[in-house]
Structure 1
Amino acid sequence: MKTLRTYAIPFTGLKLGKHQFEYVIGSDFFNDFDYSLVKKVNLQCQVELEKQETMLILNFHINGTIDLTCDRCLSEYPQHIDIREQQVAKFSEEEIDADEEIITLTKNDTEINIAGLIYEYVTVAVPFIAVCDNEGNTPYCDKDMLDRLNKLSSSDEQEKSTDPRWDALKKLK
């Protein structure tokens, strides 16, 4: 968890206006989160923090690759992601409704930790069904596994078409 401290931005000493922050996100970042679906990454994160008198506006641009396992051929492949998100943090003494998706900062807060936001954005960007591009034509795709799956699916179709029970039912028409 100590590595996540590097993602804390101290905003109290910053002047009003825009400020740029850059982070390199590797696999050690996701190891600090329990039960993370993402393990191997190579990401660049640019954060533009716009400090105003009553709020902070954070614009995220996360670009790079995540290593995923293909759901078809079970080989590992790099999935490119390009994420652009915005988060608003408002200075207020009273709690703002959670459904407005605004972070509330009090007068006692001196920094904002963006590690949780980065983790959330990258995890949500992982495709629900992970499939390597150009089936069988990429260096990551396992052609042997695809051939085996195609062979099994074609033999299942042949068994279904020659089932004698269906032939008996077709005679009833």
Structure 2
Amino acid sequence: MSAVARNEKYLSVAQVCERFSISRATFWNWMKKDQTFPVPVTINKRHYFSEYDLAKWEAHRGGADPDLNGRLVGLKPVSGVITDYRQLVEALIKRRDELKISSIELDARSGMQEGYTSKLENYGRPQGRGMGPEVFPLWLGGLKCGVVLVDLPRRPRAKKQDLMGGKRA
């Protein structure tokens, strides 16, 4: 699976330490002693870690595999671990592409106003919109998918900004 296909983000050593609330010494112990710890990408002698691989490693330590081969309680997973809004939107776009339906067709299937899917998929741009509690079930229903929460052993990394790029309250 390519980095783009799974919405890859990379974290520095400092960001990994912040995410897990650990010291650098603990981090380096994990790197040395845990053979399942994600392998870094090294750029200019600095290590960067795939956020996806870290989430998968976390889930594996907790006894779950986010890339379940097969079915989850009788249902087939259609994405990997999603930890933020942008990843959710990109996973829904990928799902629409897999179903080979246009955004206009999704609008019709879901009962959303014509052109609304395009606005949802472009939420960070001037013409885009975020989704609310009324639209979320329509969007999921039109794509024949749902959201599954998984128990991760640690919290996702803290965000310094809210989902739309503004400052946290």
TM range (shorter): under 0.3
- Structure 1-normalised TM-score? 0.23
Give 1 or 2 for the bigger CA radius of gyration.
Answer: 1
- Structure 2-normalised TM-score? 0.24
Which structure shows the higher strand fraction? 1
Which structure shows the higher helix fraction? 2
